Structure formats: C-alpha cells, structure tokens
Homo-oligomer: A and B are copies of this chain.
Amino acid sequence: MKKKLTLKQIARELDVSVSTVSKALRDSAEISEDTRQKIKAFAKLYNYKPNNIALSLKNRKTKTIGVIIPEIVHHFFTTVISGIEQEANQKGYHVIICMSNNSFDKEVINMELLANGSTDGFILSVAKETQQKQDYHHLNEVVNQGMPLVMFDRVIDGIKCDKVVIDDMNGARKAVRHLIDLDCRNIALITTVDYVSVGKLRTQGYLQALEENSMQIQEDLILKVEDFDSSEEEIAAFLENKDVDGVFAVNEHFAVYAIKALQKMGLSVPEDAYVIGFTNGELSKQFIPSLTTVSQHGAEMGAQAARLLIKKLENEEVEDGPYETIVVETELVERNSTKRVQKTEILKF
C-alpha cells in the first residue's frame, strides 16, 4: 500500500503548521497568497488528496467529543463514559458514543463516521480484534492529520497521543500480595488470553508478586480464558480437583464464577479460600460474599481523558505534542471475600 501523504508531512516539509497547510488548501484568507500557492503546488506535486477529517477539523469547532468503546454491556466502560460526560459537559462539550463491538472494521468505520465533521477529537479504547491484528493505521491517520486522540485503558504503545491508563500490573500485584499476606500459598490466576493488553499486564502483576515473595510459579494454577461465553464452565472445570487457597481473577465475573465453582466443590469463601476480582462493579458490591476487588476508578479515568482532550482542542500550539500518559492509581477495595479467617483455629474444633 502506497503511503498517503499527510497534512502533517506537508507541514513538516514546508516548515509551517498543520493548520496553515489545511487553511491554505481551503484557500483561507488567513494565509498569505504566497504561502498558499507554495503549499498548493507542493500538494499537487505529491498528489495529495485532502480528506474529510482534516478539512472538517480545521473548518469548524463542533464542541463535540467522539468516544469509541469496545463494549457497552460492561460496567467499567459505562463508568468511564459517565466520567467523560461529566467533565465534557462542565466544559461545554457534547459527547457522542459509538461502539466497536470489539471489531476492527467497526472501529475503523466509526472513526470515519465521527471524524467526518461531527466531532473535534476522539477518546478511544481499542477493540480486541485491533489488538490482535496490530493494525493501527486508522489511529495513526487521525493523529497525523492533527485530530486530537486520547486513548484509555486498552492503549497502543506506538501511537502518538495522550493516554490514560490504570496501572494494571501494579493493581494485580497489590491484589496477589494481599492474598500472600493472608497466608495463601496456592494462588490461582484466572485471566484472559495474552493479546488483551490488560489481561497480559494483570498476569504480569500476578507473576511479579509471586516472585517478589519467592513463591514458585505453578503453571497449572493459571487459566487463560478463551471465550467469555463459556467462561463459567471453563473456570469450574479448571478449579475442580485443584487445591487452591486463593484466587485472583482479572474481572468480577470470573471472580464470581470462581466462588460458585468452589462452593460446588463444597468449599466456602472466605473460610476455605480467598478470592479477589478486578473492576468494582455492582456484582462485586452486591454479591454474597461481597467481593474484594481492584477498583479501576473508571469515572476518574474518563474525566482525565476528557480533560486531556479538551486541553489539546483548546490549545492549538500543543498539536504536535508532547504527549502525556496519566496513570490512574488502582485501589484494593477489601470486602468479605478476603475477610481473614483464623484457619488453624477452625481446624482445631
């Protein structure tokens, strides 16, 4: 595929700003006749085709933020959206949401749809399929044309944009350390396949906590769930006949399924095993036993993402960076699923 010349490349080549290039190509009177001619000649020479994104971007401010999320039936993403909404509304911005359904194609189409004059910039968490394919041309294109982008949670390292992440690795590490402090010696990890970046990072946190405490890594205590739809059965089959005294799960559903599986095996939580999940959703709060969990502060992440985007939108000078990455601290919310039980005493009686 021939690489398309971008506004940004023209700007760099001619040593002018992206705005100047865009305005010149639209024949804006703000740009001197001389500069306009130079830019247009250059663009013509290199067969540059202006695309809608850049033109609409430079033409007008919509005061609208486009948000693209992988899934909507998901507590974490809905809390992030709440945070974005609140911050954006306070600053006079509207929010439009599209879903990628974790599909690469839908993500690309949604970006085109929203970039096409409806929005001033993007807040995005990439689709699983995009992570799998590692095709980020649509993200790079938007960035190259000077449309601000903020990625959150599932971010891609190479993309030049502001990012808001939680420290997934440390969140997981904290959780597993807590299990170790509770004298767990056989801690199971229930995670996702590695191409999901947050699953991978949480797995690393688990491994690191074990290593720091000189505990051996037992590969047979690690389950990488392939398919969410059959995860309940997968988890039950995995735990059967395993002698675990602690479980760390990378989301609240996996944690609840683990508790149910243990209960079916005749074990109680927290009496026989401690369980910690990730994502502080309704299920974690309402389930009995209530779940100890790593809270991601979704609303805070959303608010930070909106803050970063609006800062870029309202300050033309920072268009080319530098880019910030805000790390939102996770918090271990302790509840009944890790309530310390005096196990030796129970054994005595």
Contacts and interface: CB of A to CB of B under 8 A. Distances in A.
Contact of A288 (B78, B94, B114, B287): B287
Specify how many copies of this chain sit in the oligomer. 2
Interface string A106-122: 10011001100110000
Most buried by B among A72, A74, A85, A95: A72
A171 to B, nearest CB: 21
Contacts of A96: 96-98, 113-114, 118
A155 to B, nearest CB: 22
A72 B85 CA distance: 11
A111 to B, nearest CB: 11
A78 B97 CA distance: 12
A98 B96 CA distance: 5
16 contacts: A72-B72, A72-B78, A72-B97, A73-B75, A73-B79, A73-B82, A81-B99, A89-B106, A94-B98, A95-B99, A96-B113, A118-B118, A253-B282, A282-B283, A283-B286, A287-B287
A125 interface: no
Contacts of A294: none
Given A78-B73, A286-B287, A97 B98 contact: yes
Interface of A: 64, 72-75, 78-79, 81-82, 85, 89, 94-99, 101, 106, 109-110, 113-114, 117-118, 253, 256, 282-283, 286-288
Contacts of A106: 89
Nearest to A256: B286
A95 B286 CA distance: 32
A113 B286 contact: no
Nearest to A89: B106
A161 to B, nearest CB: 22
Contacts of A64: 113
Contacts of A89: 106
Nearest to A66: B96
Most buried by B among A64, A94, A95, A286: A286
A292 to B, nearest CB: 16
Given A256-B286, A286-B283, A110 B94 contact: yes
Contacts of A79: 73
A107 B75 CA distance: 23
A287 B259 CA distance: 12
Nearest to A73: B78
A113 B88 CA distance: 15
A84 to B, nearest CB: 10
